[in-house]
Structure 1
Amino acid sequence: MRVDFYQLTRDPAELVLPALARATLAAGERMLVVSDDAGQLGRISSALWTRVADSFLAHGMGGGAHDARQPILLGADMQPSNGARYCAIADGQWREADGMTRVFLLFPPERIDDARRTWRLLGTRDGVDRRYWRQDGGKWVEGP
């Protein structure tokens, strides 16, 4: 499993997620977006409809009758009822990601200590490839 740590110093998760979701769909994958904050999920949903200028990113809120058909599913738990193997944790709170191929952990500056603990925890596990990304102006740069 690959885990990408995204430190959000400029933009909130709802502005970063549409680009990650678009790249996920372009790779032929489905995405699960997880947050305990219903307000944040609502803002992410709006951004998926409007943030990408030339198209919208089809998605749905988890718990509906059509979860399995959603290319991007938003919810509060790690149940990929849409068959996703890619997951974006939007609220910065690590959850175990069994069965996922790739996880994006987006965290704001106030959650950096939690992210560091998660980095160390995942470093003790076999088969986990960790990468750290930070915002540098308007682009993402991979850091040490």
Structure 2
Amino acid sequence: MTEVLFYQMTSQPLEKALPALLEKCLERKWKVVVQAAAPERIAALDDALWTYSDDSFLPHAADGDGAEETIWLTTTELNPNGAHVRVLVDGAQPPDLASYARALILFDGHDPEALDATRAQWRTLKSAGHEVTYWRQAEDGRWKREA
């Protein structure tokens, strides 16, 4: 089964928290597909991944770009780059996760609706047999495993 990691963002917005997790995936030579619920979020992430650091960027493409990259941004359930890792943001609903080594679910820890939706995802994925873990963001942006 797929390992599913839930990340509760409490001290940084998605545009700051996501790049560090994507860098870890690239260090492991994993391809990644990032799925958001809305095209506007994909556009914001597209911009953020080019500019998140003065001395680095994350190679990526988005729906409609026509190029295959190590990181793919989408609103669909497709896996156009043969990714090993699926990242879900903004309440995007996971597709069948069987073909992925890992799935990362990032959610706003200050949003009650996001918390409720994430709890439901946790129950569903755990009952489907996936190994689930929960990580909370510390004030310095690091992740601490809570469950």
Same fold (TM over 0.5): yes
* Aligned partners of 2:4 and 2:104 also within 8 Å: yes
Shift of 1:64: 3.3
What residue number does 1:43 align with?
44
- 2:92 counterpart of 1:93: yes
Q: Which runs of 5+ in 1 are unaligned?
A: none
- 1:45 Cα shift? 1.3
SS at match of 2:143: strand
Amino acid at match of 2:139: G
Residue equivalent to 1:73: 72
Q: Distance in 1 between matches of 2:66 and 2:128?
A: 36
Shift, 1:136, TM fit = 1.4
Gaps of 5+ in 2: none
Q: 2:128 aligns with which of 114, 125, 128?
A: 125
- Aligned-partner Cα distance in 2 for 1:4–1:53: 28
Q: Residue by residue, what CA displacement relative to the aligned partner does 1:14-68 show, whole Å, maximum 9, x if unpaired?
A: 22111111111110111101112222212211221121343111111123322xx
Are 1:82 and 2:81 counterparts?
Answer: yes
Please tell me whether the aligned partners of residues 3 and 103 of structure 1 are also in contact (alpha carbons under 8 angstroms). yes
* Contact 1:133–1:140, Cα closer than 8 Å, also in 2: yes
The structural deviation recorded for 1:82 is 0.8
Number of equivalences: 141
Any conservation in 1 of the 2:37–2:91 contact (CA below 8 Å)?
A: no
Deviation (angstroms), 1:94: 2.9
- 1:28 paired to 2:38: no
Structure 1 counterpart of 2:123, which letter? R
Deviation at 1:141, TM superposition (A): 0.9
Amino acid at match of 1:71: T
Match of 2:139 among 134, 137, 140: 137
Where does residue 115 of structure 1 map in the other structure?
Answer: 118
Tell me the distance in 2 between the aligned counterparts of 1:101 and 1:20: 15
Comparing 26-35 and 106-115, the one that deviates more? 106-115
What is the letter of the counterpart of residue 75 of structure 1? T
Deviates more, 1:72-81 or 1:96-105: 96-105
